């Protein structure tokens, strides 16, 4: 195929309903060296789309031809396809019978060791075969766009802590499926990269999963605010519903009001539960889990947070049972 044909064919495939002269001008502007003149580009467009007369139609591939008698038309089909940022966006399903330990809001390096260890020991004792790290595992304090104290820990220290934690997790749960869902704090990493180092965004060595050590420990990353499904239970971090109050009376009810399906989430650092029965008698339940970080951070020393996590049993049909647990004085309740 000649270069001229290649250029025009690509344009016809991309803009099948554009006017002939529009396409010729675009081709001539993009590659003036390929065409003797604008008229020559126009002639090439007419030939390839089968609009240069019956005799020359044999030079036009069928897929580029316009419907006879409808030259320049196309009706509403002239409207181009819209842009899609996340073409494969959907919930990530982890189906089948499983025992899932759900930990969120650890906020390394502001983790609370006692609460975290109590949650991990509980998960091991109950035979967890799936560990869901449900967001805000890394605080990403040093790369936050919010005001920060430069005397505080460096980002390298945070990364080291997360690396070591994931390594320990893998060693202690060698056969478990481990899932890492990004929370709003974890997302700070990519936001920082977009603002400060956009040239490195496509370099695998600078990806979140590489830097935090997910790849080394065979941990699956769930990003783009995708919900996770454990059977019929939806799991979110909690920041996906942007319009919720930052300090709701009952976070679980807030999840219910927006999702209207079974949901478990973190983000609000408080354990809560809500159930409602719909008009058809179906009971819908939602839960928010507590956090595993230190309870009096500098930015909000007074709060109503509590330490907690969840354990979810699911069977092969998708039925589930949620244990929404609290850690008080080192004990799990």
* Contact positions vs Fe ion (CB under 5 A): 105, 136
Q: How far is the CB of 219 from Fe ion (least distance, A)?
A: 19
Q: How far is the CB of 244 from Fe ion (least distance, A)?
A: 13
Cis ω before 109 (30° cut-off from 0): yes
| Closer to Fe ion by Cβ: residue 104 or 286 | 104
Q: How far is the CB of 243 from Fe ion (least distance, A)?
A: 18
Closest listed residue to residue 107, CA positions, set 98, 115, 99, 97: 115
Q: Which strands, in side-by-side order, build the sheet including 331-332?
A: 220-222, 177-181, 130-134, 98-103, 308-314, 320-328, 331-332
| Closer to Fe ion by Cβ: residue 105 or 158 | 105
Answer whether 276's CB lies under 8 Å from 297's CB: no
| Closer to Fe ion by Cβ: residue 243 or 283 | 243
Q: How far is the CB of 152 from Fe ion (least distance, A)?
A: 17
Q: What share of the chain is helix, strand, coil (3-state, %, to 5)?
A: 35, 20, 45
User: Any idea what the Cα angle at residue 272 is, between residues 271 and 273, rounded to 5°?
Assistant: 140
Q: How far is the CB of 105 from Fe ion (least distance, A)?
A: 4
| β strands within 56-176, DSSP E | 92-93, 98-103, 130-134
Strand, helix or coil at 83? Answer: coil
| Closer to Fe ion by Cβ: residue 108 or 256 | 108
Q: How far is the CB of 216 from Fe ion (least distance, A)?
A: 24
Q: How far is the CB of 107 from Fe ion (least distance, A)?
A: 6
| Closer to Fe ion by Cβ: residue 65 or 184 | 184
Could you give the residue ranges of the DSSP H alpha helices within the chain?
Answer: 3-14, 20-30, 38-48, 113-125, 155-172, 187-196, 208-212, 251-259
CA 13 to CA 150: how far, in whole Å?
54
| Closer to Fe ion by Cβ: residue 106 or 312 | 106
Q: How far is the CB of 305 from Fe ion (least distance, A)?
A: 9
| Closer to Fe ion by Cβ: residue 136 or 240 | 136
Q: SS3 string of 194-235?
A: HHHCHHHCCCHHHCHHHHHCCCCCCCEEECCCCCEEECCEEE
> What's the chain's Rg over C-alpha atoms?
28
Q: How far is the CB of 225 from Fe ion (least distance, A)?
A: 15
Distance of CA 182 to the CA centre of its chain: 7
**The token pair that represents 66 in the structure block:** 């316009």
| Closer to Fe ion by Cβ: residue 26 or 239 | 239
| Closer to Fe ion by Cβ: residue 250 or 303 | 303
Could you give the residue ranges of the DSSP H alpha helices within 89-205?
Answer: 113-125, 155-172, 187-196
């Amino acid at each position: 195929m000649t270069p001229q044909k290649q250029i025009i064919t690509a344009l016809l495939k991309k803009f099948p309903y554009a006017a002939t002269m529009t396409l010729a001008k675009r081709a001539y502007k993009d590659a003036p060296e390929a065409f003797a003149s604008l008229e020559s580009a126009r002639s090439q467009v007419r030939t390839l789309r089968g609009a240069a007369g019956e005799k020359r139609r044999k030079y036009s591939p069928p897929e580029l031809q316009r419907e006879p008698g409808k030259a320049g038309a196309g009706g509403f089909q002239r409207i181009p396809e819209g842009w899609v940022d996340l073409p494969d966006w959907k919930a990530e399903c982890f189906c089948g019978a499983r025992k899932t330990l759900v930990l969120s809001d650890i906020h390394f390096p502001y983790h609370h060791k006692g609460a975290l260890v109590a949650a991990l020991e509980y998960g091991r004792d109950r035979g967890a075969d799936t560990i869901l790290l449900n967001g805000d595992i890394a605080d990403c304090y040093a790369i936050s766009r919010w005001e920060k104290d430069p005397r505080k820990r460096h980002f390298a220290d945070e990364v080291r802590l997360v690396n070591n934690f994931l390594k320990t997790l893998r060693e202690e749960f060698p056969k478990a499926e481990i899932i890492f869902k990004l929370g709003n704090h974890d997302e700070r990493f990519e936001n920082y990269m977009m603002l400060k180092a956009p040239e490195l965004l496509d370099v695998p060595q600078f990806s979140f999963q590489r830097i935090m050590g997910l790849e080394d420990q065979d941990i699956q990353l769930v990003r783009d605010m995708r919900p996770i499904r454990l059977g019929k239970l939806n799991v979110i971090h909690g920041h996906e519903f942007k319009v919720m109050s930052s300090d709701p009376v009952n976070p679980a009810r807030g999840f219910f009001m927006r999702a209207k399906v079974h949901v478990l989430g973190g983000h609000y650092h408080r354990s809560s539960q809500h159930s409602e029965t719909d008009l058809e008698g179906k009971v819908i339940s939602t839960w928010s889990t507590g956090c595993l970080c230190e309870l009096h951070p500098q930015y909000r020393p007074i709060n109503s947070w509590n330490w907690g996590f969840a354990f979810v049993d699911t069977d092969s049909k998708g039925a589930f049972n949620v244990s929404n647990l609290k850690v008080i004085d080192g004990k799990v309740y």
